[in-house]
Amino acid sequence: MADNRMAQMISAGKCPVQAAIGSGSPFVTKLISSLGFDSLLLDLQHGAFGIDRLYDMTLPLSPESLPMVRVPSYDPGLIEKVIDMGVQGIICPDVRTPAQAEGLVEACRWSRHGAVFTVAQIESVEGLENIDEIAATPGLNALFPGPVDLARAFGGNPKGLEYDDAPAAERLLRIIDAGHSAGLAVTLPASNGAQTRQVLEWGVDWLIVGPDHAWMAMAARQALADTRGLIRERPRVTPGAATRIPPLS
């Protein structure tokens, strides 16, 4: 993986920040890519787009944007098709067995665009039980514990990222330790400062933040609140003849 920049940054001790893209908009994707993030994660699993739109999203991106794709499921044929679009990494959800991890590595191996950063997402009881064998897969680069789905697999009903839940945190730390023991990088998502501090304390090697549509909603909500506030604060003027709107003819 010497020619993969994500691997190089992590090996050098840098903690890359990866922006998750779920809107499916090539315009927004290009805009986010210009803001200085170390990498983009195009979320084909949970994003509002399919593989038919993925090419339009990757086309305007440079290799320096380090675009990675989370595919919808373990599907070697689909993974190879996505890699042909020139992405720099693949995240595969719900890897449960060493055989699936080996198949993931094999599907990512023959890229004509250079080395592909290969990430197995662990989010099931079976995957956690097999974590040491999965982490030992030759050619695998990283693990991504799926916090929400993993909690649900153990009977929880999380509303979001619940890193302060002790049993859930113990499972995540088990995956982080297994990954680091095998020489793999590990990532987790964070959506606020408290979550970012928590996962950094746990020793993650890169951060996933976003997604883009959540940022847009948050900024739009704040802009609306600010504007409503200014309207409420405006001086009240009794309308006179000069301020009346003439009737429409």
How confident is the prediction along the chain (249 residues), in pLDDT tens digits per residue?
A: 557 889 999 999 999 999 999 999 999 999 999 999 999 999 999 999 999 999 999 998 988 899 999 999 999 999 999 999 989 999 999 999 999 999 999 999 877 666 899 999 999 999 999 999 999 999 999 999 999 999 999 999 988 898 999 999 999 999 999 999 999 999 999 999 999 999 999 999 999 999 999 999 999 999 999 999 999 998 876 665 555 666 676
How far is CA 57 from each of CA 62, 85, 210, rounded to the nearest angstrom? 11, 10, 17
Residue 134 included in any domain: yes
Residues 42, 69 contacting (CB under 8 angstroms) = yes
pTM of the model: 0.90
- Name the nearest CA neighbour of 116 among 146, 143, 139: 139
Question: Which pLDDT belongs to residue 229?
Answer: 96
Q: Give ∠ CA 134-78-182 in degrees, rounded to 5.
A: 15
* Angstrom distance (rounded) from CA 197 to CA 210: 16
Residue 238 included in any domain: no
For 42, the 3-state DSSP assignment is strand
Kindly report the CATH number assigned to the domain that includes residue 183.
Answer: 3.20.20.60
Residue 174 included in any domain: yes
H or E element at residue 183: none
* Angstrom distance (rounded) from CA 99 to CA 105: 10
Residue 73 included in any domain: yes
Range of the domain at 188: 5-217
Per the structure, the count of domains in the chain is: 1
Residue 231 included in any domain: no
- Residue 123's region, left for phi above 0, alpha for psi from -120 to 50, else beta, is alpha
Question: Which pLDDT belongs to residue 243?
Answer: 59
Question: Which pLDDT belongs to residue 162?
Answer: 85
* Angstrom distance (rounded) from CA 198 to CA 94: 23
Residue 243 included in any domain: no
H or E element at residue 75: none
Residue 12 included in any domain: yes
Residue 45 included in any domain: yes
